[in-house]
Chain A
């Protein structure tokens, strides 16, 4: 009964059905949570803030703090200056954050609130205590997607905070992209294993995957500190992981503080992880230790043990552009066939890069940016696939078409693996391979004829 999708494809220009994206502010809120002691602030109606917090909570199963300007009819006519000024005063006096990261919404963008001016006035009036910081990002909901909101807030961190003092620090910046706390934790673990000093921002590990202590902490232990982000201007280099979520921040740092940047893709799969490790090794001037080589060896071993189950399998992938680009490479390393790949986010780099990756091995692959899950479902109806990889919203399609389904990306509202299993790094690839194998074999075990039902695989 959930099958409202028709195989017949009609060109749509005015309509989004079952989106594969959401709006900018939530990305900005997520990025801001990766600053230690930061209160994200939503400059708009209180519904926006409530929706973002609920959505992030459903994904992380963690308290998500953010404040709102609580726009009313008056604010929409006369501007949101009074609301934001009052909000800043209240936030600092009662929640005492180190820093407030303001993001806009469609409403405040359209009425044209000038955030820097409002903040400056608040500062002059004494509404912002000495030593406390306010940064902001413009995140109109009618432009881009949640990924752009993340990227814009990262750019704001650089613009407002990073400084070049002239004394270079022996550290490498890493901008991890819109990934899970578990992924950020894994990136830090790999860097530590290499013995490379890094500054990673944002960093939501220990913020959105905190322990149960019986205490409620408005500002958990984790997050990149303001001092760390400030020091990023003195780093040797920046490694940015993902064109859409991370590259703008690195480019901004390059032009502002002259910190050279390596523009990489997310380290998902063996090749991309190799490139990440190699880049980090080069910048930090360290050797890859035996422990990391062993990890890589175990991944290659796993791939060799299982490659026969993956060869030639037709896969449909939906997700955020950086994730889909990176995951596609892992699928190709396993000689799978990503025949359909979509992202809801706009941006030409997606289709360009995906064609580079797929035109050779999967010449008939359908690739589309600014697409939605309804369209992906239509493609699948016309020519089926063996495996679907998408965020939770893929489950409607998986059920209707009886597809093995691996949950991947944001949001995941109905499973928990993303909370502790990374998808980046060699370990992340093993985790993804494991999930894909389970999905494929579970279906076979459930449905195959008895004579084909095998104990040993």
Chain B
């Protein structure tokens, strides 16, 4: 494999664990001309709000932004499926010239009358930011006319990175919070923030907390419901799973409603258990801690024998991780360790300086750490480190396969729940099935025993 160069402008965004050097540069828009794996502000807002299943989601812009985000995430709903439709104003040339406010207002009015949603979110796309539609004013008028909250999401694609989209989503959701009745909410109560219920993961996690005796008031971003969100300020603690997307909302709830929050992760035995213990410790109720311990004991016992069998097969194999948020990367590094695997490359789309400092700390020496990477870089590092597994999203999968490397989707296209204890077992099974698939023996690099 000929050596592949790194864009000079990218060098500051790449480092290695166990080596001295400056902090990883991050949090910037991608270098113009790079094959970035990242998306935009709109994408960030859309993914966070999408799982609110009884709300109407209307994309205000030309058709593409609505088409590419139509029912592509497995964020499951136990009830309404309204969010799986694609609603858009499909702006045309004349709308761009004369403005799209009238169209937006008519679209909202028709949709709200037909579907009777609990709330409506209106997403601004790039073009809306340029033609200057006053989306906020339209939302206000329609809200007054229909009696439901109609929320403007300031998600023009070019106004920052995906992270800014998360923030826009948090701002929109926040306007709902505090408008519902909180009577009857238990003093032992939480909200789950930043779990998207992909493949039903929120249901798995919620079940653990309910068995502990903790009331789950709102699962805001997974199987979310408007009425739960309206009263979620009555909960006594917020658990933030996807720190990148939801810390902003958690901070607002802390500062303005006095609700503390904990950053947690539900991936891997260690992190899932830590989430349960941290919650019990927070409430300071010994009985709660006893129940948490019992759950951890039972659940770990149930999955451990099979996990051990996978570990024997996977011992010493090397993985590359490229995911959206750093918190997930932390969990994956630990979960891979549980399986006897090492992390040779780890990168994220939205990590910050502290995240990368922590990755440097927790990874083995020599692990490549990279922000906002691109396919050439990823391919280069994968071959140099000769990894056996790639963990990433939709755009990384075919690259891994072309290199003859196993793959696990830890993004929104995963089909198996990977959270919680049962999720760890699913993860192990998926990693094993892909890493150790007989298909790789037909790949030239592995054929004939060559390394």
Contact = CB atoms under 8 A, between A and B. Distances in A.
Contact of B395 (A57, A70, A86): A57
Interface stretch (A184-192, A211-219, A310-318, A361-369): A211-219
A185 to B, nearest CB: 19
A4 B115 CA distance: 8
A2 B6 CA distance: 47
B93 interface: yes
A94 interface: yes
A67 interface: yes
A429 to B, nearest CB: 29
A393 B81 contact: no
A46 B395 contact: no
Interface in A1-40: 1-2, 4, 6, 10, 12-19, 21-23, 25-26
Contacts of A68: 30, 32-34, 36
B48 to A, nearest CB: 15
A107 B158 contact: yes
B127 interface: yes
B92 A18 contact: no
Interface in B97-138: 102-104, 106-107, 110-111, 114-115, 125-127, 129-131
A186 B384 CA distance: 38
B398 A61 contact: yes
B260 interface: no
Contacts of A16: 63, 66, 86-90
Interface string A199-217: 0000000000010111111
Nearest 9 interchain pairs by C-beta: A47-B40, A23-B64, A90-B33, A87-B33, A16-B90, A22-B67, A141-B62, A14-B106, A45-B157
Interface string B2-39: 00011101000000000000000000011111111111
> Which of B36, B64, B110, B444 has the most chain A CB atoms inside 10 A of its CB?
B64
A17 B85 CA distance: 7
A49 B395 CA distance: 11
A50 interface: yes
B61 interface: yes
B82 interface: yes
Nearest to A24: B64
Interface of B: 1, 5-7, 9, 29-43, 61-72, 79-82, 84-93, 95-96, 102-104, 106-107, 110-111, 114-115, 125-127, 129-131, 157-160, 375-376, 379, 383, 394-395, 397-399, 401-404, 442-446
A295 to B, nearest CB: 31
Contact of B126 (A95, A105, A344): A105
Q: Chain A, interface size: which category? A: 35 or more
B126 A44 contact: yes
Given A6-B114, A47-B40, A215-B402, A90 B444 contact: no
Nearest to A15: B107
Given A16-B66, A110-B96, A212-B404, A95 B443 contact: no
A142 interface: yes
A66 B35 contact: yes
Contact of A46 (B9, B36, B95, B402): B36
Given A4-B82, A16-B63, A140-B62, 4 more contacts: A14-B110, A61-B398, A94-B376, A212-B442
A73 B159 contact: yes
A160 interface: no
A58 interface: yes
A51 B39 contact: yes
Given A16-B87, A65-B375, A90 B36 contact: no
B81 A213 contact: no
A26 B404 CA distance: 28
A143 B395 contact: no
A233 B72 CA distance: 43
Contacts of B72: 58
Nearest to B105: A14
B81 A46 contact: no
Nearest to A346: B92
A71 B39 contact: no
B61 to A, nearest CB: 7
20 contacts: A4-B82, A15-B107, A17-B87, A19-B70, A22-B68, A45-B126, A45-B158, A47-B157, A55-B68, A57-B398, A58-B72, A60-B398, A76-B129, A76-B158, A90-B33, A94-B33, A141-B63, A142-B96, A215-B403, A216-B399
Interface string A59-84: 01111111111111101100000011
Interface in A88-116: 88-91, 93-95, 105-107, 110-111
